[in-house]
A = this chain, B = another copy of it.
Amino acid sequence: MSAVYSGVFPIAPTPFHPDGGLDLTSAERLFAHYAAIGSDGLTVLGIMGEAPKLEPNESIAMLKVAVKAMAGKPIIVGVSAPGFAAMRSLAREAMEAGAAAVMIAPPSHLRTDDSIVGYYADAVAAIGADVPFVIQDYPLVTSVQMTPGVIRRIVTDNPSCVMLKAEDWPGLEKISTLRRWQADGSVRPLSIMTANGGLFLDFEMERGADGSNTGYAFPEMLIEVVAHAKARRRDAAHDLFDAHLPLLRYEQQPGVGLAVRKYVMMRRGLIACDAQRKPGGSLSATARAEIDYLLGRLARTDPRASL
């Protein structure tokens, strides 16, 4: 089974100054860190990258920093938009600025299987069949439910589909089904990278995922778990994953999760400030103390959490 993308592509947050201005210096530092720890690629301007809060020129500026920092590693750019005009513009500009592929989530009003398949056909017609794209399957956020059969139809209909970002919940059986279909030839080889905050990364790798395409304040953990899994060091993968799970679970909360991630990244020195543009979640003093407590507990086994 060959797959185009593999390993860990962190979902990058977008750093802001306290006044809401784009903090490109922090972005450079953060992206350099992603590169230094061995990330295999990067996704920018996704849901957790606060993409809809950026002006078009800011989006491209972020992308260019990423392209430069990752030095040839693939950059995936989120281009989900309420209309195909904006999607096409952003996709075209992103590819010109050095992106390797774009990521498209379905709009929340889609219900029937045919309407989902049709949407991706229209999206490909809009961005061009030469632009590689990633399906984002994230029902918790989009309300759109894709069966494995629908994913197969999209993959089969569109040669430019290069990856599934798998963040259904539960999602383990979906990975197994797609891999079984790939094995029996009923779907072509497809890169599957998992997300949903990494909550099931341990078992997703065992089910056949190619890697992780999610955010977490310690992307090093994602990289090491994926490496352990690929080397079939099962217990080592779970030991490391389980040590991080209490914090990872805290960071995976809807809405407030990005505030947790940015707070820890700020404490790690990866970004200067944990500010979000509106509308954004914020942390109470109690929540920050809870995170500090979790970091202290994690530091007993992972010194990187000793901040």
Contacts and interface: CB of A to CB of B under 8 A. Distances in A.
A170 B284 contact: no
B245 A297 contact: no
Interface in A57-87: 58, 81-86
Contacts of A220: none
Contacts of A114: 147, 149
A169 B254 contact: yes
A267 interface: no
- Determine how many copies of this chain the complex contains: 4
Interface string A140-181: 000011110110000000000000000001101100100000
Contacts of A199: 249
Contact of A279 (B119, B200, B290): B119
A112 B147 contact: yes
A277 interface: yes
Contacts of A126: 278
A8 B157 CA distance: 44
Interface stretch (A35-43, A46-54, A211-219): A46-54
Contact of A53 (B84, B146, B200, B206): B84
> Interface residues of A: mostly helix, strand, loop or mixed?
helix
A256 interface: yes
A196 to B, nearest CB: 11
Interface string A290-307: 100000010000000000
A173 B284 contact: yes
A171 to B, nearest CB: 9
A146 B53 CA distance: 25
12 contacts: A52-B82, A53-B83, A54-B83, A81-B82, A84-B278, A108-B109, A115-B145, A122-B278, A200-B249, A202-B246, A245-B249, A249-B249
